[in-house]
Amino acid sequence: SPFVARPLATGAVKVGPAKGTVIVVGGGSMGPEIFKAFIDAAGGPDALILDVPNAGGGDSVSPNAGQPWRNAGAKNVVVLFTKDRKIADSDSFTAIIKKAGGVWFEGGRQFHIVQDYGGTKTEREIMALVERGGVVGGSSAGATILGDYMVRGAPSNDNMIMRYPGYERAFGYLRNVGIDQHVVARSRLPDLADSIIPRYPNLLGISEDEGTAWVVRGDTGRIIGRNKAFVYNGKDATDSGSPFLTLHPGDRYDLNARRVLSRAIQRTPVKLDLINSMFGK
């Protein structure tokens, strides 16, 4: 069926979770500030954190699954994994999600997550976890699954295909949002503006480079990490000559109003006529 965005929520919060947190990471290695943000949002070091490695596409779980979270101080990390949709739809498999404070989707290809869990009790219980105040997060493929529109969702290893019928719906913790990742490292910066927004003109596009995260509570996203994040189809003016607006660590953005709330550092745009006058053009 053709993609139709989830309606915005009817309460005070429209795009993000009313109580929980969504943490969107653009791939690459994560700094301690991103690990800390997720563990804190899950309820601290003693909270139960579920690590979901399905995007990797493997038939079994790597012995290292979840280890980065233990290294970062999380004491209760459990790997949640099945490729059997009947099991994913069972009460016995999903019982642990009811006890968890956070769910983390690892990287790989996002279509695997949809094939294994889409439309099952697992998907519904993870949404319930966020709605009761928990955190859901992910990096790379695990970032894109957090949006409503699933960018690069083709069921193949070709991650250049921006839209693929039948694989356009992600899990929608951020309503009416499409999420891209690795955008600077893989030269993908204009892709949301070129391929997705023209087809879905009401969709908000967000992206983030490697090692960079959106930490979203309610409708407010805060940027943390080491690089930049980007907004497509917002209300503010875009960067000069670009179809997106750049955000930096510490900046805050309203995903419903689609405007910058605050900048960590005031950056004055350099006036082209000033440069030209300096060079006598």
Q: What is the Cα–Cα distance from 6 to 127, expressed in whole angstroms?
A: 13
What average pLDDT does the segment 81-96 reach? 98
> Percent of the chain scored above 70 by pLDDT?
95
Q: How confident is the model at residue 202 (pLDDT cuts 50, 70, 90)?
A: very high
Bridge pairing between strands 212-217 and 220-225: antiparallel
Q: Which pLDDT score is estimated for 266?
A: 82
- Residue with the larger pLDDT of the pair 36 and 269: 36
Average pLDDT, the chain: 95
Read off the pTM.
0.94
Give yes or no for a contact between 212 and 249, defined as CB atoms under 8 angstroms apart. Answer: yes
pLDDT at 214 over 70: yes
